[in-house]
Structure 1
């Protein structure tokens, strides 16, 4: 059993566990379940030790607990050098530290770990709710630190009050450092778990994939333009190109994805683009997808660090987009690019590839058009006219069998964008025309107040591109032949009866809630623009606006002046607090009593305790002793036991005439 002197007070323990719980709560969904139960069991064991029902574990038990924890981490994670096992290791350290939480030093170490765990929260998300929760965590952890000063400071009101005061005093310094500290990149990178689920457009497409995305109204992209805004029919945000078809599934094919060795130009290809002519400049804020591909209009160039261009006119990032990511893009319309190089033999074969068998009716129909001598544009025109004449655009198409293209073209004739794009490319390839499927997003909602385009997951779209000699790759959207309002006005207009039909709360049908949702998105947009994306360029521009010229002398002055003002404020606060203006009400009342006693010829000595002063009054002026003792007793109850009734009694006694004292 631990000796009583070694034990932490109950209030200190409870504050430590509250701080741990606040820091770990957002991580519970990420951590293995055994860590959550182990932490809860360690807290229970430590409370039992405090109650005297159990002993602290010995060295053998601690070594066994460490071995079990290491084994559990090894079994739970495939690799150690990743974000999730690092956070889990901090959580395990909490758990193990609770088994030897004895001294104040142990308490301080545990609470310092809590700050680190709270900081890992922002590795996953940097949204406003997470930021607010992070502030709550810091307040609770700081209050727990304050509570370690003693039983008196462990009272919730005092601990939280001291925490808020300390953090409020740190805010000016925090803002100053946020503005002036160099915006350095990470010294090392810890990858996230590659097995985590991806969101948004996938690296392959089968019938029904985009239909599922149409049920989500989560933001995907926010796009602001520096100059002209493209019209709705030009808002195609391409992210992936599917060239391989196995009879049912469209995919990028081997060697296209950068993760499989696909060629990427990381320094741009400015020399291949015209110096002047129509182009769009814009900034994209992309939500996390856990994938490396980014979204932009055709023929993009990006100067953002770590972003490169692929041969099939896409942009990708060096690493997966694990959190919200902003990048700059310039796009040239294809008709401004001038000379078009011939399609290489390998690319031609890739974009004419079809399975060895299957879909015989479509193959025969396309072969008949090819033998008739029709060119690529005429075959495309006839196929689009066929779509326009006979097909229905729906979010709930019937299931298709093995010959999915034949069943769609000559059977159900009901489909979503992936059905039209996939069948179109198959038919064009069967006719001997290079074609490919392109996936991304189309359209978006223009937010006039903040002047940006909001693209949601239900704007996910698939279209086609065909190769025309002398003109290169040309976009063809078969969906536009069936439902042109989908391209012009969005999915909600094209499929009004089916749009978000299965959602629990159809916000799009509630004007007021829809406006609130849009306002919230604008707030998030401002938050990201102002805080999260405050990089070195924005920092330099802000400092130039404030200082005029960013020089070492001006920067030092900019730092020194606020710090001097803060120190002056602290000195003034100490001065006035020394004069008693910030003393508790009970202490001010007692000082008033002491001044009245001094006027009566009985001055209180410096450093003399209230009880000692009362004994001296009894000895020197016995006639005043009864009243002085009553006042002293009321003061002690009010000051040391937070007794409101005693404070009222003290006020009442001090209102009595001096003669009665």
Structure 2
């Protein structure tokens, strides 16, 4: 059992729980509800213990709490080796530690654990608001540590002041270590819980999926080009290929999804990519999707570690994209390739697959087109001409029934991109032409100030590809036949009246707010480029600019010179501050009083307490007794009881008695000397 004086006072407990709440708050939306309630219950129990209404739980209760926590974690998470269950385990340890939060040692342990929880915040998000919140969390935890010293250190102003000073002093060292420390593999490469919902484009497509994405203005991609920028009609960011159709739903099908074991090239591309000719070089920063697929122009190749290529011209990552991810890409327009690869029998059957029944009118019309026209391009032109003459592009298409293709082609004739792409591919397959649906994004907003292309979720798009023996897979966008302005100018131009009309705050209608939104996105882009994606290559380039040549000697000098300078300044500051040690104000005032008494001839003896000194002065100089007694009483209340009013009274007494007291002390000293001589 801890000694009574080692038990935690109320202020220490409040600071500990405030620090715990601060670091856990961002995780409340990710943690199971039972963990949040368990932490709150543990805090309530500990307060009840402080108030004397309950006792600390015994060993049996603690073991039961641990068993319940472990069982809850096992039921809440499907796998343990992932980030979310690890953060949940830290939160559970917080709650359980509160049940035995007894001494200052327990408090320090709990607060050191809080630093780790604060660091896990950046596992999930590395945006500027989260970074600022992380600094706030570190300041609160440090202030809670400072408050554990007791006394006036637990006051919010004093604790936060010390915390901010400590953090400010650590900034130079933090910046130095950020620049020179070797870049290690990121913690967020550890798998996360796969049970969470993904964002953006899904691995399947049904009528209405892309319509829902058109209501979101959240960023999806940011693309910076090293060289020419492709024209708007070439900005097709392909991410998924749908080859299987069950009558209503399009999906990737067997042998395509890398999660199901589909072949992926993780090394140098085996495709015959030309060394000269038109090509694009660019860097993509993709927002988190919790999926493996990446987005790039057609015929992509990436040297970024962990990025591979599929046989259907897509890029995938070895692990899902749980946070912003940057990758470099080179793309060759298909028109620059001299030879088209052969289409194997399995791929032909895959891209001619249709359900055995359903959509009879579309099948019949497609067969008639195949009899009228001799090649696939003529059949495609006939279907596109039909779209151009009879169809309307809208963000609010009517619902479709079982025979969705027939109803769309011959009844509603109103739709979004997925309706056009789906029905077009159905028609081409029914006519005997291999075809597939491609999903991704089309277009993007050019941000001139930072020179990057901003692609948002409402730029999500679906188009088609057909196989021709002469040129291989060729992109065909049926939406362009109905609404060419969608491809050329974007969704906002093609559907101006319907665009984002359900948004709570339609920023696009207010030029000032839209500019502010772009400015904020540019700040986020620069933040990611400068801080978040500061990898080993960026570090090497920066050190080369600073040092000219990255050698061990220069690197050591670059590291040791600032450290030595900082230590020298610290020593100078300590020496200077040590000259007038920053004692508590009450003690400084009392020492000033003692120095005045010494100058008047009544010095305070070594080891003599304030009360003993006052008693001696009362005997040796009775006239000074009231003054010395008042000063001593005010000092004792200010120093030992920490009474602010007594501290102010002590300062006022010294100001009032400065001249009069000195004269009285001088007269008393003369009297003492004269009296001693007569004796």
| TM-score, normalisation: structure 2 | 0.93
2:675 aligned partner: none
1:289-308 equivalences in 2 (<5 Å): 289-308=289-308
- Counterpart for residue 641 of structure 1: 643
Report the CA distance between 1:641 and its aligned residue: 2.5
> Bigger CA drift: 637-646 or 381-390?
637-646
Question: What is the match of residue 515 of structure 2?
Answer: 515
Q: Is the 8 A contact 1:418 1:461 kept in 2?
A: yes
Other-structure match for 2:539 = 539
Partner of 1:475: 475
Separation in structure 2 between the aligned mates of residue 176 and residue 205 of structure 1, nearest angstrom? 49
The residue that corresponds to 1:498 in the other structure is 498
Do the aligned partners of 2:204 and 2:242 also contact (CA within 8 Å) in 1?
yes
Question: 69-78 or 306-315, which moves further after superposition?
Answer: 69-78
What is the match of residue 399 of structure 2? 399
**What residue in structure 2 maps to residue 313 of structure 1?**
313
- TM alignment of 1:366-445, pairs within 5 A: 366-445=366-445
Q: CA deviation at 1:357?
A: 1.4
Cα deviation 1:329-348 (Å, max 9, x = unaligned): 11111111221122111111
Counterpart-to-counterpart distance in 1, 2:285 and 2:188: 24
Asked if 1:39 corresponds to 2:39, the answer is yes
Partner Cα separation in structure 1 for residue 598 and residue 231 of structure 2: 85
Q: Secondary structure at the match of 2:496?
A: coil
CA distance in 1, matches of 2:154, 2:331: 60
Is residue 68 of structure 1 aligned with residue 72 of structure 2?
Answer: no
The 2-side partners of 1:57 and 1:210 are apart by 55
| 1:340 matched to 2:317 | no
C-alpha spacing 1:388/1:598, structure 2 compared with 1 (3 Å):
same
C-alpha separation between the residues in 1 aligned to 2:557 and 2:599?
52
Task: State the Cα distance separating 1:416 from its structure 2 match.
Answer: 0.2
The answer to whether 1:659 aligns with 2:659 is no
Say whether the 8 Å CA contact 1:589–1:650 is kept in structure 2: no
Inter-CA distance 299–610: structure 2 relative to 1 (3 Å threshold): farther
Contact 1:111–1:145 at 8 Å: present in 2 too? yes
Aligned to 2:51: 51
Q: Is the 8 A contact 1:369 1:379 kept in 2?
A: yes
Report deviation, 1:598. 3.7
Q: 1:634 to 1:407 in 2, by over 3 A?
A: same
Quick one: structure 1 residues 98 and 544, their matched pair in 2 at CA, closer, same or farther if it must change by over 3 Å?
Answer: same
- The 5 Å alignment of 1:540-579 reads 540-579=540-579
**What's the counterpart of residue 448 of structure 1?**
448
Whether contact under 8 Å (1:388, 1:481) holds in the other structure is yes
Name the SS for the 1:272 alignment partner: coil
Q: 2:128 and 2:664 mapped to 1: Cα distance? A: 62
**Alignment-derived partner of residue 25 in structure 1:** 25
C-alpha separation in 2, matches of 1:606 and 1:316: 79
Q: CA deviation at 1:593?
A: 3.9
Q: Does 1:596 align with 2:596?
A: yes
Match of 2:11 in 1: 11
Identify which range, 454-463 or 98-107, moves more after superposition: 98-107
Question: Equivalent residue for 2:225?
Answer: 225
- Per-residue CA deviations over 1:442-496 (Å, capped at 9, x if unaligned) read 1111111111111110000001111111211111111111111111111111101
SS at the partner of 2:462? strand
Q: Does the 8 Å contact 1:2/1:55 carry over to 2? A: no
1:349 and 2:352 are equivalent in the alignment: no
- How many angstroms apart in 2 are the aligned matches of 1:574 and 1:654? 34
Residue 258 and residue 71 in structure 1: after superposition, are their counterparts in 2 closer, same or farther (change >3 A)?
Answer: same
Aligned residues: 661
Structure 2 contact 631–650 (Cα < 8 Å) conserved: no
Q: CA deviation at 1:555?
A: 0.8
Task: Label 1:366 to 1:163 Cα distance change in 2 as closer, same or farther (>3 A).
Answer: same
Name the stretch that deviates more: 267-276 or 575-584.
575-584
Work out whether residues 464 and 478 of structure 1, in 8 Å CA contact, stay in contact via their aligned partners in 2. Answer: yes
Structure 1 gaps of 5+ residues are none
Q: Whole-Å Cα distance in 1 between the matches of residues 427 and 491 of structure 2?
A: 26
The answer as to whether partners of 1:9 and 1:151 remain within 8 angstroms in 2 is no
Offset of residue 583 of structure 1: 5.9
Aligned-pair CA distance for 1:2: 8.1
Secondary structure of 2:305's counterpart equals coil
Q: 1:571 to 1:4 in 2, by over 3 A?
A: same
Q: Distance in 2 between matches of 1:182 and 1:622?
A: 73
CA distance change for structure 1 residues 648 and 492 in 2, over 3 Å: closer, same or farther?
farther
Larger of the two Rg values belongs to structure: 2
1:488 aligns with 488
Cα distance change, pair 597–422 in 1 and its aligned pair in 2 (3 A): same
SS of the residue corresponding to residue 220 of structure 1 reads strand
Contact kept in structure 2, 1:577 and 1:583, CA below 8 Å: no
Change in CA separation of 1:348 and 1:147 when aligned onto 2, cut-off 3 Å: same
Matches of 1:312 and 1:271 in 2, distance apart? Answer: 11
CA positional deviation for 1:606? 6.2
Segments of 5+ residues of structure 2 without an aligned counterpart are 666-679
Q: CA RMSD in A?
A: 2.1
- Whole-Å separation in 2 of the counterparts to 1:27 and 1:464: 41
Which residue is 1:197 aligned to? 197
Q: How far 1:610 sits from its partner (Å)?
A: 4.7
Deviation at 1:603, TM superposition (A): 4.1
